[in-house]
């Protein structure tokens, strides 16, 4: 069946995506599926192929304040959506951000700190239990030469001083 939905440019793009997937994604599919994540190295490969940021013309995302952050000033034009999908009131976007953005960022920060505490506890809890191995031979090593573990602090059982 012949379709006239796509132009030649669309068909070229579809072929590019198919070739990229066959070369860069399918060989790793089983491993990524088992790991539950895609390797970080995959994303730069997608970008080099020109498959990221398709909706934005090259260079329109000039940074305004935090150059190292993934932020940019966007000016959508001609965007239409149903009234029932409007959050807040018409032309109230900045007010909505003022009321909610600080709370959202505080929540994200609190979650990040909690995650860091869990990871730290996990890392320090695992470190002494893991057997040490020689990198060259893979044999177990009796200990870390020249490195002593600090004794854990124990809570004081002494009564607090009287004033």
Evaluate if residue 68 carries a pLDDT over 70.
no
pLDDT at 23: 92
The pLDDT tens digits for 52-65 are: 766 656 667 555 55
Q: Are 19 and 49 in contact (CB under 8 A)?
A: no
Q: What is the pLDDT of residues 33-45, one digit of tens each?
A: 888 888 888 888 8
Residue 154 half-sphere exposure toward CB, CA atoms < 13 A: 4
Highest mean pLDDT among 42-46, 50-54, 101-105, 147-151: 42-46
């Amino acid at each position: 069946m012949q379709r006239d939905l796509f132009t030649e440019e669309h068909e070229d793009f579809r072929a590019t995506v198919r070739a990229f997937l066959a070369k860069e994604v399918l060989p790793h599919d089983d491993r990524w599926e088992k790991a539950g994540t895609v390797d970080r190295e995959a994303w730069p490969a997608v970008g080099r192929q020109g498959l990221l940021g398709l909706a934005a013309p090259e260079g329109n995302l000039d940074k305004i304040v935090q150059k190292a952050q993934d932020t940019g000033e966007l000016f959508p034009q001609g965007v239409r959506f149903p009234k029932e999908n409007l959050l807040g009131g018409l032309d109230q976007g900045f007010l909505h951000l003022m009321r909610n953005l600080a709370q959202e960022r505080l929540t994200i920060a609190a979650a990040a700190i909690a995650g860091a505490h869990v990871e730290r506890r996990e890392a320090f809890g695992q470190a002494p239990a893991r057997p040490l191995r020689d990198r060259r031979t893979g044999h177990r090593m009796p200990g870390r030469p020249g490195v002593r573990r600090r004794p854990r602090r124990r809570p004081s059982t002494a009564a607090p001083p009287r004033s």
